[in-house]
Each structure stands twice: as structure tokens, then as C-alpha cells.
Amino acid sequence: MRKAKDIRQAVETELARDPLVDAAGITVRNLKGNVALNGTVPSYPQYLEAAEAAWRTRGVTDVRNDLEVALPPENYRDDAMLTTAANNALAASATAPEGVEATAKNGNLTLTGTVNYRRQRAAADAVISGLTGVRNIKDEIQVVFDVDPADVNRLVSKALDHHRVPSDNSHVAANITGDTVVLTGNVRTQEQRDAVVGAAWLGHGVTVVIDELEITG
């Protein structure tokens, strides 16, 4: 098992070499593989990418993203301007679902509306995440379909089988209550964990995925 200092330094190295992140304002803390990112970045895409970089680091078991987006003055947009830009982007997108609206407050965008599938929520997020002036996104879009346990378990099993490694004894169970999926069991790698969690999110009507998986290595 890697030491706490080694994991922290490895995350710092991964952030420093990521061309999509300005890591100068980021502080990394680590406790037994649970990594917290503190400080500031100059854009929302960098906020997202910093967490992805931390997850890529070997030995990391959880990432808490406490970064704040400190926009450069030239990227600031008032609420009315950002609201208009976000809704125009949603309307013009071929991938964003109809019936979703955005509202800005202090650079923070809130998405509301209803969709049929969880992936449609993700599509709406993706359309506006790169807009100039965005500090954060709060997704309050409602998914209207009920969750089908068989569908979720099929997706999870398929993802796990696709990412199996030699001598693999991984086992994952998807326990479903309402629109919430709780993943339990063990996987060998972070790649498997990411694949299984991502697969669970693809289930019809899933709005919450609780990851209780253990990485055995």
C-alpha cells in the first residue's frame, strides 16, 4: 500500500503534468487514499479535470473536490448574460434534451426540467460546462422513468466483464431502492470501479449512485 505522502505527491505530479489544468492554486490533502482538492482554478472545466486527474492516480480511493472557480475579470458574466448564454446553448444543441432550462446566480448555473434518461442530464451538463463565466453547475433535472433493477444489473455486469483482468475475482451487486443504486462488492482496479459506476448511471431513471465498492488491487 502506498504511503499517504506518496499518494499526495503523485496526485500533485498528475495535476502538474495535465495540460488542461493550471495547478498553481491547488492544494492536495490525502488520508488513506481519500484525497481532497482545495484552492482555486480559473475555470469550471479545470475544476472538473482536476478531479479526473486525481482519480487517475494509483492509490486514490476517493476524491472530494473542494476547489473554487476564481474567474479572471475578463471571463466574468452577469447573471442575466450567463442565463441567456446557457439557454441559447441548450436550445442550439443537438444533444441536449428539450424542456431543460438554466438560471444563473453569481456564476453558478442551476438546471431544471424533466428528462427520460440519466444520460440526458449528463448531455445538458456537458453543453453548458464550457461556457465562459460558469463557476459551477447544480443539476436539478428530474428523471421521470422508474428504475428497472434488471436493466441496471445487466449494465453493471456487462461493464465488469468488459474490464476483467487476469485472476479476477471481482464481484459487484447493484441494490436498488426507488431511483437510487447502491453498489457493493469488490473490484481489482480503479478502471473497473469507474466502468461499473458509469454503467449504473446509465440505468433508466437512476438519479443517485452510491459507490461502496472496495478496490482490492
Count of alpha carbons within 13 Å of 111, Cβ hemisphere only? 29
Q: Where are the domains of the chain?
A: 4-69, 73-143, 149-215
Query: Among residues 34, 37, 31, 43, which one has the least CA distance to residue 12?
Result: 37
Going residue by residue through the chain, which has 217 residues, state the pLDDT in tens, using 9 for 90 and above: 456 678 999 999 999 999 999 999 999 999 888 999 999 999 999 999 999 999 999 889 999 999 999 999 999 999 999 999 999 999 999 999 888 999 999 999 999 998 877 778 889 999 999 999 999 999 999 877 767 888 898 999 998 888 887 777 888 999 988 788 999 999 988 889 999 999 999 887 788 899 999 988 7
The CATH T-level fold of domain 73-143 is Histidine-containing Protein; Chain: A; (3.30.1340)
Question: Do 203 and 148 contact (CB within 8 A), yes or no?
Answer: yes
H/E run at residue 48:
helix 44-55
CATH of 4-69, one of 1.10.510.10, 3.30.1340.30, 3.40.190.10, 3.90.226.10: 3.30.1340.30
Residue with cell 481532497: 36
149-215 placed in CATH 3.40.50: no
Q: Which residues of 107-144 are buried (b: 16+ CB within 10 A; e: fewer)?
A: bbbbbebebebbbbbbbbbebbbebebbbebeeebebe
- Asked if the domains 4-69 and 73-143 are classified in one and the same CATH topology, the answer is yes
- What predicted TM-score, i.e. pTM, was given to this entire model? 0.67
